[in-house]
Structure 1
């Protein structure tokens, strides 16, 4: 393989350190869920990664702004997921490798099972009965991991669900937002044709996941009439997914609830306890740089040295000496007189 085929990407690692990657394009990947370009790239170590970039052409300035928001959403979501799951990263999510939003050609690199087989053949195949459980468990475990760190995916649909040889990943975080934040980009789907005006809600991911799962099994999305009668629609799916089609968000179960219903002793993805992880560092810092207390310190004032005796000027010492001498002479004279008189 000719080394000249490789180009160098420079940016930041998940830790925020400078990084560089020599990659060559392998194949374009269709992207129907956002404006971003996606391709598979191969590193000099023959590792295949997924790369997302801004579109080569846009219809106008508005599309460019939306595309930039989508790339920024993807980077922010993957950085947050990596930071919170670095100690035990869920297999159901793409793994951030590097990114650079300020480059001439901004990009994000990720390790994903999508890169192993970009032709989509596995995606088009109808799931066998034995595969359905693994698929829906992977789907709701991925959502449980995302929701546990206060993120909402915002675009759960077949185009963002990847199934490869019994492995599952939830991709496509271009439309993600923090829970209860107002999304900066959202796709228009069958279940929600209008762009939402309200904040991002994890319950929307649950209903979208149910719609995608139905389409994966039936080979078609549910009709508007079927969505209008969720109780009847759910009878055609697994009992563990009861409530996922509920019209009102408050009536839908959480992703964790669905996973536990599928597995009696399911272990959900556990995000790192940030306070616990940083406690040792805080203690070391406080030991090295003690923090002043709120109480005022008690000041110890040393005793003042004794004052020296006053200095009497010489002109004041002489009259005092004379007075003493005169008094003594008078006493001696008085004593002599008394002796003579006797």
Structure 2
């Protein structure tokens, strides 16, 4: 593998130029690279030219991943948790835009279906619900927690792929499939909430612990290790903190402070401004094409003749007054 340059912007919006050694693009959307100066392993996620030409929404998903990654950095700058992907930078204005992340931890959780030890089952639950709790504290709902986006290294779960994440309280879109997406999300009803991710995390845990596939709400009665999830799939789900308490685990937000980094927030604001600037010409064109022209209010015609009765009205009033005066004087 030959060294190659990699130019991108840091989360603060500063230009960065690295020399990296990259693996071949076996997956057209993702590859591993190594920063030669430090040996740091990275993941580069991109939109290939051909794919973006046919599916323009992929650019929006990539930009959203950069935005959500930057938001996490602004909130978790002192103690970034291993359960979440960490953004290094992005380059979104080129023909094949990309985001750059620290390398993932572990392997896809699908490799462990039905194969975890009892102690590992408990650790997986605690770690995945920690991730949901931290995301919710940062005001983020992942929306695509499923076996393809959860990894496991034997001690810690890690969520990946923030491309579909959104802010809590935003309108739900019809997204995902059973059993991993909650019913309200599949129908696109109401507003996003942390409970959406709790449902999805619970389904991933059930699938991994039991190895069984399901199409609807699972029966947990025969699996003692899953009793902490007993009402996660109900209409009134618990909070992530409550599930962690059942697992006798502390709230991670007691040790992971959610803060604001003004430098990173300014970088994120600059990112948003650049993104909107790229969209303004298209939006302006669409607005002009669909704008409804106001209906002009007709002005009164100058010199329009009065109706015949109006021309005789003053004379009639004068005659009535004369008659009244004559009657009074008599």
Fold-level match, TM-score > 0.5? yes
The CA deviation at 1:199 is 3.1
1:61-72 equivalences in 2 (<5 Å): 61=54, 63-64=55-56, 66-72=57-63
Q: Structure 2 vs 1, CA of residues 257 and 184 (structure 1 numbering), >3 Å: closer, same or farther?
A: same
Determine helix, strand or coil for the equivalent of 1:46.
Answer: coil
Bigger Cα Rg: 1
Count, aligned residues: 256
The CA deviation at 1:112 is 3.2
Find the aligned partners of 1:125 and 1:57 in 2 and give their Cα distance. 38
The CA deviation at 1:214 is 0.6
CA contact (8 A) 1:122 1:163 kept: no
Determine helix, strand or coil for the equivalent of 2:67.
Answer: helix
CA contact (8 A) 1:73 1:175 kept: yes
Find the aligned partners of 1:148 and 1:222 in 2 and give their Cα distance. 30
| Runs of 5+ consecutive residues of structure 2 not aligned to the other structure | 263-330
Q: Structure 2 vs 1, CA of residues 223 and 124 (structure 1 numbering), >3 Å: closer, same or farther?
A: closer
**Which residue matches 2:258?**
272
Q: Deviations along 1:152-178, whole A, 9 cap, x unmatched?
A: 001001111110132321111111001
Q: Deviations along 1:246-276, whole A, 9 cap, x unmatched?
A: 1x2xx111112211221254443634343xx
The CA deviation at 1:183 is 5.7
CA RMSD in angstroms comes to 2.9
Q: Structure 2 vs 1, CA of residues 267 and 188 (structure 1 numbering), >3 Å: closer, same or farther?
A: closer
User: Does residue 269 of structure 2 align to residue 263 of structure 1?
Assistant: no
User: Does residue 238 of structure 2 align to residue 238 of structure 1?
Assistant: no
The TM-score, its normalising length taken from structure 1, stands at 0.66
Q: Structure 2 vs 1, CA of residues 217 and 25 (structure 1 numbering), >3 Å: closer, same or farther?
A: same
Q: Structure 2 vs 1, CA of residues 22 and 220 (structure 1 numbering), >3 Å: closer, same or farther?
A: farther
Determine helix, strand or coil for the equivalent of 2:192.
Answer: coil
CA contact (8 A) 2:48 2:96 kept: no
The CA deviation at 1:15 is 2.3
Q: Deviations along 1:79-100, whole A, 9 cap, x unmatched?
A: 0001110111111111111111
The CA deviation at 1:67 is 0.7
The TM-score, its normalising length taken from structure 2, stands at 0.68
CA contact (8 A) 1:40 1:48 kept: yes
Q: Structure 2 vs 1, CA of residues 155 and 119 (structure 1 numbering), >3 Å: closer, same or farther?
A: closer
CA contact (8 A) 1:162 1:170 kept: yes
CA contact (8 A) 1:175 1:186 kept: no
Find the aligned partners of 2:45 and 2:163 in 1 and give their Cα distance. 10
**Which residue matches 1:319?**
none
User: Does residue 128 of structure 2 align to residue 139 of structure 1?
Assistant: yes
Structure number with greater CO (CA < 8 Å, separation at least 6) is 2
The 10-residue stretch of structure 1 (193-202 or 207-216) with the greater mean CA deviation from structure 2:
193-202
